[in-house]
Structure 1
């Protein structure tokens, strides 16, 4: 007997979860489920309305993975997730592991969804619309690859909470009015009015465009051409590329000019007050210049409470880069990474693996300490995805200048920063993944996780695994099979 259910366009995840719970409570096997309401050549029956006697509990890891996969455009995503749920219930292997074919496919779908949400956050361009009310109104048109408007809209709610806006897509429309987010049916591409701010942005973009730094493959990788039609600045790119060689020749012919007396002091004060000026001058030319720029970082709100930026340290020609989550209280006060209790665990594991901090590059995915105050204590708070992504700029510069053969990610935040994958760490620990910088990334536990374990046996095992991963990373770094990172991609 084939059971069929049709899931709605909105609230898809909760609808799938309810249907899957009801189906598995009646022990309906995956092959008897038709998730889009089509039963093929067989007569399809609706799911039983009442819950069955068999109740299933799954961990947070599955729910998190399912909550991402569900927004993919792959028609089989509902069936694949139900197969994983069925296997978890029957304890048939580990369908969440990337070593399992099903788990690997699900994680790939989740990664694609995450990247699509990131592209939406980067490439949605609002235009201001007329309004009679006190709140400004904006509208945008976007064409995501997957069904990511619903999960991706929370970012815009946080960023633009003081204005009304609409994002229309071919599948769904998001509206934020008077502080309330709603979703409606698909809409045609609206006739958006011209926006005076676009002219200012285009002028700024044209002026910061450096023809001597053109890397077309990197440009198209970070800004795929399918999004160009939505971005006002990309209309200028073809003409700027045509004139690039001539502009470079004019720049060389002009040479450097002597600054007037006092200009250096004025420039120094300006850079200290406005670190965003880095964007107008291109990438820092050296590791020291990158560190100096990072000391003035204001890319997210963490800089307002932390004592200072904590930059990486170690061997500038290191073959192994070790990336943690963020500075702790000790690191924030000293300005050096891995000097607190977790750092002591890492240094001990390094010594046991046959290396020292002086031979590797130690750094963090996030450069500022995030904490909450309780009395006189500053208690660690994990950085969120937005903060990790904002700080990826600095991590990318470290990768570009250090050029390690292998990168070791300690903990989930470091793994997210290096790979873009936020899936659970337990199934990934000890595995090698391809980083966003195209280099090998070995995943391991963070030393702070080892310290938090209460059970002595589990703590001993986790420390042994961390040491084992350090030893493996060192072997890979010394091997000729681990090629250096290509190019100088940042973040």
Structure 2
């Protein structure tokens, strides 16, 4: 038997070195015993002994799975991953497509748990301001992850809070950013955290609480869903939780005020029965939400029907377009017209299965002008996009994608709450509540006039979708 001991936590480099050495020796999975502790390999130094071992060529999807699963707390994770690698090297190149395979299924669950933990850290970590003697400020946060995800989650915080000096303390490791470089450190304790930010003024926490109050929608109050998406273990570190009891108590009164204000507005919006249904109880399932959408009247009259989202709940990727077109309105399905067919081709070329993606639009009804026998698409106004924003955000809260892709400026406006220059801000973007990505709408590709420009625009679009697949 070959003993392999890696460092505690997510020792990705140590695991890679061990795999190279084991593969070079043709060590079968059943002949290897994995453990965590002081790093060693076959009784020697892992790095030194594997220096002459060649790299192991693996399918990209297997490599990505390894990077995630090594962060899990499962003691058998290294053994499971090595069994997968062994089988992939034996010729099972499409192994991860065999979803019913027990090994693949188990690793997929570990992968999902780690990704969800990273998402929770992105969503529920809150900094507190700590004044410095020189008049500056640094920011400290405490978080308790379920797995060894600190380093995997770090790029998000570096990108979002690049201009701040901050420290993140957790029981499995720490991060420090000084505006130039990221440093990793040992685990911390809650006592250390309290000592580090005991002087933090209340005004920073108050800012978080006021932001939460300003974005709280009383019409979608669902305490069970709130507890499921924001478990109690995070509440102690979230300043906004202090406001939740009062917001819940005032929700019925605020909803009634919304209904009265809606009734007094001359512009026609959704019918009273749909608003009343929301007031009585926010939809608890996607099916309930879709029934509400189907009963709502178009903000701009003329559409045949509401076009609902399409795809599996729990999809890793959700793609949001602008609004249904003529063919979508006729068929009641998103992305079935010329732009939709172009999107399908680009997804396939990028290696993304359209059937596994959730597709929807920021605006649920077709807006058009009649010219002879043709219905000509009209872009929705900012007010019309905001009118439908509640539907979209509620819809995505049920789907729970890892990544939301905005196709074009209208979708980006609906998801970010601000005007977005697609060509200037193209790429990853943090939306309100989701990790996001902005790219062009496929209809833009159809409008590019010359052949070379059209081919280049399409190639850039496929490249964006490949980045989406990697991020998701």
TM range (shorter): 0.5 to 0.7
Aligned to 1:194: 201
2:141 corresponding residue in structure 1: 140
1:401-480 counterparts in 2 under 5 A?
A: none
- The 2-side partners of 1:232 and 1:412 are apart by 27
Give the count of matched residue pairs. 329
SS of 1:36's equivalent in the other structure is strand
Q: CA distance change for structure 1 residues 366 and 27 in 2, over 3 Å: closer, same or farther?
A: farther
Structure 2 CA distance, aligned partners of 1:392 and 1:13? 41
Q: TM-score, normalised by structure 2?
A: 0.55
CA contact (8 A) 1:94 1:100 kept: no
Between the aligned partners of 1:16 and 1:77, the Cα distance in structure 2 is 11
Q: Is the 8 A contact 2:124 2:234 kept in 1?
A: yes
In the TM superposition, what are the counterparts of 1:21-420 in structure 2 within 5 Å?
Answer: 21-36=20-35, 45-46=43-44, 49-50=49-50, 56-91=56-91, 95-96=95-96, 97-132=98-133, 136-189=137-190, 190-191=193-194, 192=197, 193-203=200-210, 205-206=212-213, 209=216, 213-238=220-245, 240-241=247-248, 243=249, 248=252, 287=293, 315-316=305-306, 321=310, 337-340=335-338, 343=341, 364=359, 394=392, 396-397=394-395
Ranked by relative contact order (alpha carbons within 8 Å, sequence separation 6 or more), the top structure is 1
Q: CA deviation at 1:92?
A: 5.8
Give the Cα separation in 1 of the matches to 2:130 and 2:43.
Answer: 48
- 2:374 matched residue in structure 1: none
| Alignment CA distance shift 1:30-1:62 (3 Å) | same
Q: Tell me if the contact between 1:337 and 1:363 (Cα under 8 Å) persists in the aligned partners.
A: no
Root-mean-square deviation (CA, aligned residues, Å) is 5.2
Aligned partners of 2:397 and 2:37: how far apart in 1?
50
Equivalent-residue separation in structure 1 for 2:235 and 2:134 (angstroms): 32
* Residues 315/322 of structure 1: CA separation in 2 closer, same or farther (3 Å cut): farther
TM-score by length of 1: 0.53
* Shift in Å, 1:226: 1.1
Q: Is the 8 A contact 1:26 1:53 kept in 2?
A: no
Unaligned ranges ≥5, structure 2: 268-281, 284-288, 329-333, 346-356, 364-388, 407-441, 444-472
Q: Structure 1: how far apart are the matches of 2:342 and 2:232?
A: 47
| 1:240–1:132 CA distance, 2 compared to 1 (3 A) | same
SS at match of 1:166: strand
Q: Check the 8 A contact 1:166/1:176 in 2, yes or no.
A: yes
Matched position secondary structure for 1:45: coil
1:178 Cα deviation after fit? 2.6
Which consecutive unaligned segments of at least 5 residues does structure 1 have?
A: 266-281, 296-312, 348-361, 369-390, 401-406, 415-446, 449-491
Q: What do residues 347-394 of structure 1 show as CA deviations (whole Å, max 9, x unaligned)?
A: 9xxxxxxxxxxxxxx9846869xxxxxxxxxxxxxxxxxxxxxx9983
Looking at structure 2, the residues matched to 171 and 138 of structure 1 have their Cα atoms a distance apart, in angstroms, of: 19
